[in-house]
Amino acid sequence: MAEVIEGISPTRMELLRLGRRIVLAEKGHKLLKEKRDALVSEFLDVVHKVHESRSGTDEKLAMAFRDLLMAQAVMGADAVRQVSQVTGQDLRMDLDTMNIMGVRVPTITLEEVKRSMIDRGYGFADTSSKLDDAARNFEESIEYVIKLAEVQQSVENLATEVIKTKRRVNALEYIVIPRLRATARRIRMRLSEMERENFTRLKKIKAAIESGKVAETA
């Protein structure tokens, strides 16, 4: 049985107040359940995107490293290392957020990172085509990694909100509302007892008055 809320006087005014609190708590519980269900649906959608993004990222990176190894086999590791020292690139991105069911999640807009061989800063005379393939795949991998970071953080933010909302739903369902109802029942029982006591007292008073009238008549 749920615990009652201590310190509440057993009066009809308090009973009315409890009734209003119960109605508000039940409405809040319903709204939070709807929010929780919607959040879970959004969460599962983003989880699916994370799986897709991670799979694409792993595949693209695997291709890039495979091409890099082949380029090293053809050109030599030292030659590839020397080329890498002149192909640095600054990444420019815009960070923002969007709202999903009241949850702020990141949005990352990355400027174009794919470049031509000339833009990368090395010539084609002394390099392998596999180096070009590796460079292109690594540049494309950056886009995959950024997207993965975006959806991964979105999953974490949504998961945190799902947990918070679930706790609030459970608190209302298993603690707050049962305690309010138990307290209201206790007050109704006490009011009924007081009514019976008053009724009994009035009967005794009436009987005493009637006995006094009979005595005076005699």
Share of the chain above pLDDT 90, in %: 55
DSSP state, residue 87: -
Are 186 and 17 in contact by the 8 Å Cβ rule? The answer is no
How far apart are the C-alpha atoms of 169 and 29, rounded to whole Å? 6
* Average of per-residue pLDDT across 189-206: 85
List the structure tokens of 35.
């929010």
Selection from 59, 69, 22 nearest residue 145 by Cα: 59
**Residue pointed to by tokens 């310190």:** 7
83-97: pLDDT as tens digits: 887 777 788 889 999
How confident is the model over 182-193, as pLDDT tens digits?
999 999 999 898
CB count in 10 Å sphere of residue 12: 10
Residue with tokens 């794919």: 114
pLDDT at 180 over 60: yes
What is the spatial distance between Cα 169 and Cα 36, in angstroms, rounded to a whole number? 8
Segment 41-80, tens digit of pLDDT: 999 999 999 999 999 999 999 999 999 999 899 888 888 8
Give residue 145's pLDDT: 93
Note the Cα 36 to chain centre separation in Å: 8
pTM, 2 dp? 0.77
Instruction: Tell me what pLDDT residue 203 has.
Output: 81
Measured CA to CA, the distance from residue 109 to residue 117 in angstroms comes to 24
Tokens in use for 16? 């009315």
Joined tokens for residue 7: 């310190």
E strand spans, 32-156: 93-100, 103-110
For 12-217, the fitting CATH number among 3.40.50.11720, 3.30.1340.10, 1.10.287.3240, 1.20.1530.20 is 1.10.287.3240
Question: For the chain, which residues make up each domain, given as ranges?
Answer: 12-217
Per-residue pLDDT of 33-51, as tens digits, reads 999 999 999 999 999 999 9
Q: Which residues contact 29 (CB under 8 A, 6 or more apart)?
A: 169, 172, 173, 177
pLDDT in tens, 96-147: 999 988 899 999 998 888 887 777 777 666 677 888 888 889 989 999 999 9
